[in-house]
Structure 1
Amino acid sequence: MSASPEESLVQQWTSEQARLRQQLVEEDTEDWQKSPGFSGLERVGGVDLSFIKGDDVNACAQLVVLSYPDLELLYENSQMVTLTAPYVAGFLAFRETPFLIEALQQLERDKPELLPQVVFVDGNGIFHYREFGLACHLGVLSGLPCVGVAKNLLQVQGVYKSEEHQSQIAALQKGGDSFPLTATSGKVLGKALRSSDKSSKPVYVSVGHKISLDAAVRLTHSCCRYRVPEPIRQEMVQ
């Protein structure tokens, strides 16, 4: 019996995801990442694809670039786009990444001096079913360091919204406090971070590409005035 079109697509995407996964770098590659105050980091980006309510085909692809450490807006680009790939859980990147890559490429063509040195992605990195979420996909294809920051917990690889998880959240006393998200394999896939003193609800940070988890968590905290890091939050208020 032949596979349905969607089954064939999922097989193709699974194979492509595994191929890209081999290129993933889960450690610091830039000098600024190893500096306690991120000395040398001047531009941080944020990307997101936001949908119109009730419409899962038309969306707004957004890219912002902020100065660092001041977090002042340097560049903003929003484009209405039409998604053609179907939604399949665990393969979100295949729907969304092409438009985010296009936004980065347009910036590189028009104003290369404003290209971000790191990109925050509204979604997960290696905290994913097959350890290759949207932030990893974008990082590998763009070649830029990427950090995944999710607002909701993806219940995956043995990480659940259990009583223990809730009590760990309650134990986060102040902005910057975090605890590891550990898979059943023992691998730490990310961290739950209390990003601001003002917000007791954590965000979920994971490595996208070319950055260590420690640097990703420190950088996320340093870019938060509120719960969500400014490069992602700015898109919501644009």
Structure 2
Amino acid sequence: MELQHSHDWNLSREEAIALQQSLRDKIITTDQLGEVRTVAGVDVGFEDGGDTTRAAIVVLSFPDLQIQERAIAHRPTTFPYIPGLLSFREVPAVLDALDQLQHLPDLLLCDGQGTAHPRRLGIACHVGLLTNLPAIGVAKSLLVGQHETVSDEKGAWQPLKHQGEVIGVALRTRSKTKPLYISPGHRISLETSIAYVLQCTPKYRLPETTRQAHKLASETPASELENLNVEKREESQLRLF
């Protein structure tokens, strides 16, 4: 996978903030995505007391949301935990996991913020910009901004505003549950982001992309996953002949 706008990851806090400021104007928040046949979710966690970053990615067919491909990557954690700079801690492992996929997804739903970020460059923006993949930020909690009360029915939403700017929405993906915070990551508009998140959330509060990636990361050892991917590649090759 060839990266766009690649940069060093060994940065100080001040250098990371400056980089976010320089990258934010490169984010595209209009629809520049083609036909979406696959969507993917990523779950990032930490092992060994935080010394190892783990990224799990699950690719699903769209719109029927059936699992197509899975990947897990581990790498040493090199950036400290600093709110607002989490992408510098998490993205390197995400890129490693994406590199393991045979086919990149048409749309990435990231468990985290997109433009709903103090410097408008959350993890969905960062991953989307580096990979040039359309991406959406789907966060379980509010990082920055304010919104009015969201009504209880599924599909209801309210604009999320910060410093006079609409940076995302608070979206009710399931009746009478806490809203999710949706914002564009790259190459997609806010309105289209809402539509895709709702289509990827047929039953539960979280999109199937997020649920399946978390399930994979929690339940499947990396060694077992590699065996599964080998078997899947062999099956695909057999179908070609």
With the length of structure 1 as denominator, give the TM-score of the two structures: 0.81
Q: Distance in 2 between matches of 1:64 and 1:126?
A: 23
Q: For residue 234 of structure 1, report the CA deviation from its aligned partner.
A: 0.5
Structure 1, unaligned stretches of length 5 or more? 1-7, 32-39
Which residue of the other structure, out of 210, 223, 236, is the alignment partner of 2:200? 223
User: Which AA in structure 1 matches 2:38?
Assistant: R
Which residue of the other structure, out of 126, 138, 151, is the alignment partner of 1:137? 126
CA contact (8 A) 1:196 1:221 kept: no
CA contact (8 A) 1:176 1:218 kept: no
Which residue of the other structure, out of 96, 103, 106, is the alignment partner of 1:117? 106
Which residue of the other structure, out of 120, 128, 138, is the alignment partner of 1:149? 138
Q: Distance in 2 between matches of 1:76 and 1:30?
A: 22
Q: Secondary structure at the match of 1:232?
A: helix
With the length of structure 2 as denominator, give the TM-score of the two structures: 0.80
Q: Percent identity, aligned pairs only?
A: 38
Aligned residues: 205
Q: For residue 81 of structure 1, report the CA deviation from its aligned partner.
A: 2.7
The answer to whether structure 1 residue 234 and structure 2 residue 212 are counterparts is yes
Q: Distance in 2 between matches of 1:80 and 1:9?
A: 22
Partner residue of 2:155? 176
The answer to whether structure 1 residue 10 and structure 2 residue 4 are counterparts is no
Alpha-carbon spacing, 1:101–1:80, altered in 2? closer, same or farther (3 Å) = closer
Q: Secondary structure at the match of 1:66?
A: strand
Q: Distance in 2 between matches of 1:49 and 1:137?
A: 14
**Coordinate RMSD, CA, aligned:** 1.7
Q: For residue 78 of structure 1, report the CA deviation from its aligned partner.
A: 1.5
Segments ≥4 residues shifted beyond 4 Å? none
Q: Deviations over 1:68-101 (max 9, x none)?
A: 0110000111223321111222111111111111
User: Which AA in structure 2 matches 1:85?
Assistant: F
Which residue of the other structure, out of 19, 22, 43, is the alignment partner of 2:22? 19
Q: Secondary structure at the match of 1:123?
A: coil
User: Which AA in structure 2 matches 1:204?
Assistant: Y
